Amino acid sequence: MSNHDDIREKIRSNILKYSQKSGYKINPDEKIVSMIIEGLAKNKLRYGYAYCPCRVVTGDPADDRKIICPCIYHRDEIARDGLCHCQLYTSPDYEPSR
């Protein structure tokens, strides 16, 4: 297994743990979840942190700390929209539109 595969597995595990702890659900669309995990893994390899792939990494450690998944914005976004900006985490009652 490659280092990239290991990182993806660790990220998926962390996402599941956070979901259980926080009460947020993980998006039921596995295609979206896989894309986000891939982006998080690439950022972890590139920058050393699993920065949200939907946010711009500025290079300023204080600013960038805010976008380590789960980012500081996800709670407000879920409360407002039912899911976070990258669509990884959802509210417990979120129902995707078909």
- The CATH fold assigned to 3-90 is Ferredoxin Thioredoxin Reductase (3.90.460)
Structure confidence at residue 61 (pLDDT)? 95
Handedness of CA 53, 17, 65, 8 (dihedral sign): negative
- Residue 34 pLDDT: 98
pTM of the model: 0.92
- Residues in the chain where the model's pLDDT stays below 50: none
- Kindly list the domain boundaries of the chain, sorted by start residue: 3-90
Per-residue pLDDT, 98: 59
pLDDT score of 1: 54
| Token digits of residue 91 | 């509210």
